[in-house]
């Protein structure tokens, strides 16, 4: 669940920089700062309705070195760029026509290198088409979508919703499981309940179900009198 929160956090920061939607440019392939190494988290994603790619990057030098190189590149390209510094690190962005580049650099350990996430967002005025459609997987009743991320990988598509709803986690989980079963989903087994490390009480519950090519892994947990749920749907080609 931590990876979902992390991607959602940075995608949310990026989305906050968008003043409006314009026509999409499918290229969006510039490299503001050459990386020593990269790790693809999702090269073909839809994050809250926006086509996005997110890549882990590692650079030589300090955050200040990388920040200066990022800004210098966009100055040469005559593209406006800006930055924000907070306790969470440095967030750099540049809007190049139809492509928004966002480089997030959290605080770094001493004496190594600089690691971060590079998000490239293709802004589009038309709705994105999900491979796992909204109607394919019914979401829990009374839930509010906090984030919605679809990732397309070779041979498999995944879509993950982070949800909030009123009520107890175990009750919401049981109601959602019954809803899916009534629509023909079959159980793949109940997962172990989440236990608090400081108490013996149950903190949440999880289960998995399948219908045709689609399967879902679901987890429900209590937080501040509400339920937080993660619904992860996958489709194998």
Domains of the chain (ranges; CATH) run 2-9+19-122 (3.30.160), 144-236 (3.30.310.80)
CB 119 within 8 A of CB 149: no
pLDDT digit string (tens) for the chain, length 237 residues: 444 444 444 444 444 333 333 333 457 889 999 999 999 888 889 999 889 999 999 998 899 999 999 999 999 999 999 999 998 899 999 999 889 999 999 998 877 789 999 999 988 666 678 999 988 999 999 999 999 999 988 888 999 999 999 999 999 999 999 999 999 999 986 555 544 445 444 457 899 999 999 999 999 999 989 999 999 999 987
Summarised one tens digit per residue, pLDDT across range 36-69 is 999 988 888 999 988 999 999 999 889 999 999 9
pLDDT tens digits along 190-217: 555 544 445 444 457 899 999 999 999 9
């Amino acid at each position: 669940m931590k990876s979902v929160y992390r991607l959602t956090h940075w995608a949310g920061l990026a989305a906050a920089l968008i003043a409006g939607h314009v026509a999409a440019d499918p290229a969006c392939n510039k490299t503001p700062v050459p990386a020593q190494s990269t790790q693809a988290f999702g090269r073909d994603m839809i994050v809250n309705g926006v086509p996005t790619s997110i890549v882990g990057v590692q650079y030589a030098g300090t955050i200040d070195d990388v920040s200066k190189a990022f800004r210098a590149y966009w100055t040469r390209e005559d593209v406006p760029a800006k930055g924000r510094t907070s306790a969470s690190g440095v967030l750099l962005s540049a809007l190049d026509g139809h492509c928004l580049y966002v480089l997030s650099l959290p605080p770094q350990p001493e004496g190594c290198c600089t690691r971060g996430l590079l998000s490239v967002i293709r802004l589009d005025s038309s709705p994105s088409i999900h491979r796992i459609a909204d109607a394919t997987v019914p979401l829990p009743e009374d839930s509010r979508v906090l984030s919605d991320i679809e990732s397309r990988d070779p041979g498999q598509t995944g879509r993950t919703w982070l949800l909030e709803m009123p009520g107890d986690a175990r009750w919401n989980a049981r109601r959602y499981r019954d809803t899916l079963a009534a629509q023909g989903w079959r159980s793949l087994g109940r997962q172990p309940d989440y236990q608090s490390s400081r108490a013996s009480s149950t903190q949440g519950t999880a289960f998995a179900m399948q219908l045709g090519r689609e399967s879902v892994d679901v987890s429900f947990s209590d937080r501040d009198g509400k339920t937080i749920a993660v619904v992860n749907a996958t489709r194998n080609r």
